[in-house]
Every structure is written in structure tokens, then in C-alpha cells.
Amino acid sequence: MSEQPTRICILGGGFGGLYTALRLSQLPWEKPQRPEIILVDQNDRFVFAPLLYELLTGELQTWEIAPPFEEILASTGVRFTQAAVAGINIDERRVQLHDGPEFSYDRLVLALGGETPLDRIPGASEYAIPFRTLANAYHLEERLRILEESDKDKIRVAIVGGGYSGVELACKLAERLGERGRLRLIELTDLILRSSPDFNREVAQRALDDRNVWIDLETAVESIGADTISLLYKGQVDSIPVDLVLWTVGIGVSPIVRSLPLKQNQRGQLTTTSTLQVLDHPEIFALGDLADCRDAEGQQVPSTAQAAFQQSDYTAWNIWASLTGRPLLPFRYQHLGEMMTLGTDNATFTGLGIKLEGPLAYTARRLAYLYRMPTLDHKLRVGLNWIAQPLVDMLSET
């Protein structure tokens, strides 16, 4: 009777989970040691989230930023299962799926990402649209289409949150809606892009001003209605008519993760060691939005795609090392810079001693993200399309 191979179960197919699976499949396993790798995600596609905004302006198509998992994993040996996680029994080392099988595991990777919390403000869960997933983008696209086809003279959009996502959405939607758009960016603090370098903030401020986006600083949202948003500013509440509310504030942790008997911070994130292992459970690795991680230098690792991308490489290596008797490596986070899209053919980039804005930054951002796409095959297909598309557009205009 043959012995069952070691099983690595990866929950979540975002940057953390998918890239861990891909890296694990590439490591030099000896034949008797090669594990079974299972990737579980409730969606059928990986979403390259930083490029999600380009769907709204038609700059990119779904296939470019959201390839199917089955396509990405076709030649890797990684087994993909589309299902939602129903529960995790860490004592018995088992994962239960909704309407699906139960898996035992030898190593577990928790990479379920974050959720946008909409339960903190009255009316938000009913009337506000988050912008984290492909489903969110499709929902927003449908709402925009209905508004654009209506006889409304002005389309009034409120975007809650003056961070990266809020600013990028505001610029893209201002360009899409043009003269019909009336956009309002609402920020609780006294500054947009508070954690961003000054250069990026200044370029973004100009981009918002050029697109006539109204910015409400030091303003809180009291409630959201079907066609109104109530804002609190300096002790006074004003209700403002609105056609669409977008919510970009906060990161919540999945209830499945919160329910686990593991050490968590106040936000429900799992506390990890510098090797990305959960405290007291070295067989469980956690990364991305749901991990409270300090790296080898003691610096707090941010909840960004860039950080999850880097963590995936260490997670894969450390799982391999733990199964092959090698030393584990403490994670060392490298801040490689920040990029933002600020409309069509416009962006800002700061990092590695470089500061760029405008079309050059837009091109640099595209190339950086092309390099990070999951497989060589997908990079080639997308890259060739980006090269060919301007030629196709030029020919169609002649």
C-alpha cells in the first residue's frame, strides 16, 4: 500500500495564495517528497487587483487582469478547487468546504485576503459598493451603464476614503463620466493619501483638481440612503443627493479566520512569526491582509499586494524547507516604491530613487505589473496585446 503524499492546502487565490502555489510547484522536490498542492478559492479567476481600475475605462479587458485559475495552473501540478471555506479544524488539521469535500493537510496556508467592512455605517451594506473584486467591478459597471443611459443631466458619485483606491477610482470615473460627472472624495483625516510620499500626493492632488473632483477632508459619513449620503463636518450633518456611493475604507478579516483559536490582533489578523508561521502552530502559514506580521528587522509589514507578493516567495520556501529538513528564512520586506493610476495615460511612481509622473509613469507602472503577472504564458499574451492594441486602434480610425 503506497504512502499518501504530503498535502499542502492553500486557502485563497490572491497574490499571497496563488503565487505561493506557483513557487511551491517550481521548487526542487525529490520525487518521493513531491507533495500534493491544493489551491482553494471561491472564484474561478485570479484577479490582478491593482489593474482592476482599468476595466472601468476600457483600457484593459477581463482576460488580461483576471485569467482563470485552471489556465494559470494547467502545467504546474497544482490542483485547483473552486469552493468557499466553511470551517477549519486546526486540531485535526482538516478544512471543510461549502458544498464540497473535506481536506486533511500537513501544511496549511491562510491567504484568504481581506474584506471591505460595510457594517459600520447605517445603509452602507445596502447602498455602497466596495471595489476589491471582479464582482464589485461588474456591479459598478452595471450601475454606471444604467446611469449613463438615463436622462440625468449630472451623475453624482461619492467615493468614501481618500487612500490609494479612492483616489484612483475618482480619477478613472471622472474621466469616464466627463462633463456629466460630479465626483466627491470623502476623507476622515485632514489629508488624502496620508501614508504616501509627498511627491505622489502632490501629483494626485493636481490630477483630482484637473478633473474637478471635490474633496471633503475631516469629514465622516453618518449614514447612506438610496439617493443620499449624510456627512458630518465640524459638528454639522448635511445630507447630500447622490446617485452612487463607492466604499474604499478599511480591511476586515474573514469570519472563518476570526473564529480560529489562534492569537489575533484587535483587527482579527493572525499574529505570525518572522518566518510567516502562526504562533504555536508551525504547520500553519499566514500572509497578506489577514496576517499581523513583523519581518526579520522588526518592521510592520503593510497589507498591500506588494507585500503579499514578496511573502509568497518566503512562504513557499519555508514550507519546502520545513518538509525537507532545511533552515527556514525570516521574511525581509523590501519597500520597492508606490504606483498609482491617475486616469487614462497618467500615473505616478515613487521608488528606488526615482520619481515619475504622467505618461512615462503610466508606462513604467504597466511594465512593472506585466513583470509580476503569474505565468510566462500570460505575460506574453498580455504584453503582445498591449503592443498590438495601439496599432489596431490606429487602423480602425483610418
What's residue 164's pLDDT? 93
User: What letter represents residue 256's amino acid?
Assistant: I
**In the chain, where the domains are located:** 7-42+83-114+252-324, 124-247, 338-397
The fold of 124-247 is: FAD/NAD(P)-binding domain (3.50.50)
What CATH number does the domain located at 7-42+83-114+252-324 have? Answer: 3.50.50.60
Residues of the chain with pLDDT under 70: 1-3, 390-398
What's residue 393's pLDDT? 63
* Per-residue pLDDT tens over the stretch 263-283: 999 888 999 999 999 999 999
On the question of a common fold for 7-42+83-114+252-324 and 124-247, the answer reads yes
* Per-residue pLDDT tens over the stretch 143-202: 999 999 999 999 999 999 999 999 999 999 999 999 999 999 999 999 999 988 899 999
Tell me the backbone φ, ψ of residue 294, rounded to 5 degrees.
-115, 135
Which residues, 6+ apart, have CB-to-CB distance to 384 below 8 Å? none
Give the distance, in angstroms, between the CA of residue 363 and the centroid of all CA atoms in the same chain: 21
Q: How far is 358 from 243, CA to CA, in rounded Å?
A: 30
Q: How far is 355 from 175, CA to CA, in rounded Å?
A: 24
